[in-house]
Amino acid sequence: MDNSLARLVRMLSAGFSNQHQAFENPPLFAHILVKFRPLPQLAPGSLLLEQSYAINPVAPYRIRVLRPERRDGQLVIHNHALHDEQRFWGAVEDPERRAAIQDHDLRLLEGCTYVVREEGEGFVGEVEPGCRCLVERKGAIAYLVSSFSLAPGRMETIDRGHDPQTHEQLWGALAGCFEFAQTHDYSDEIPAAWQESFAG
């Protein structure tokens, strides 16, 4: 059985908050909530991600469908945007809205796949090389440089946007990574059928 893929999906199926970090250093770190929940109606491993400011959790500033899988012997996480994404805001806490997400609602984000490897009891990953993960923020296009570290009970992330021509950093973490503690466990929502596919 491909235990590493099953374990990655299980560890990601959770909620996280950086409340401690944000309260200790509010000028540098906003209080952010991150939640990943399984989407049983989609391909095995599909997780809804909502990332929001704690003061306004019903209006996430990032909503994606992530799909961890094994490709050519390597763990990767595909990153999908949602068409007309506001329809699904708050779906992470709304079972009916989550169930409404279908394959035709997804758009694969080219160049934004995370390459993942096991490290210790968890995983680390970063956006694939090539500077092709383009995002628009404040009217400017930037390529995303993003990485994460996942361990039992915690997650660290760092996101930065760079100018495609000059490679100058335009936005993102200046004070280091965001440090999240796990607040929820959604692993019991993983369908049993997924385990069989992970073993294949």
pLDDT, tens digit, 9 for 90 and up, residues 128-169:
999 999 988 878 899 999 999 999 999 999 999 999 999 999
Can you give the pLDDT at residue 200?
59
Give the integer Cα–Cα distance in Å for 23 and 184. Answer: 20
151: its two tokens: 């361990």
Can you give the pLDDT at residue 118?
95
| Mean pLDDT, residues 187-195 | 93
Can you give the pLDDT at residue 135?
87
- How confident is residue 1, by pLDDT bands cut at 50, 70 and 90? very low
Can you give the pLDDT at residue 27?
85
Can you give the pLDDT at residue 73?
85
DSSP class per residue in 8-60: HHHHHSEEEE-HHHHHH-TTT---EEEEEEE-TTSSTT-EEEEEEETT-TTS-
DSSP class per residue in 71-109: ETTEEEEEEEEETTGGGGTTGGG-HHHHHT--GGGEEE-
pLDDT, tens digit, 9 for 90 and up, residues 81-128:
999 999 999 999 999 999 999 999 999 999 999 999 999 999 999 999
| Mean pLDDT, residues 35-52 | 97
Give the integer Cα–Cα distance in Å for 188 and 85. Answer: 26
Share of the chain above pLDDT 70, in %: 98
Residue 2 has pLDDT above 60, yes or no: no
- How confident is residue 10, by pLDDT bands cut at 50, 70 and 90? very high
Find all residues with CB under 8 Å of 43, minimum gap 6, and list them.
67, 103
| Mean pLDDT, residues 26-35 | 92
Can you give the pLDDT at residue 175?
77
| Mean pLDDT, residues 22-37 | 93
- How confident is residue 67, by pLDDT bands cut at 50, 70 and 90? very high
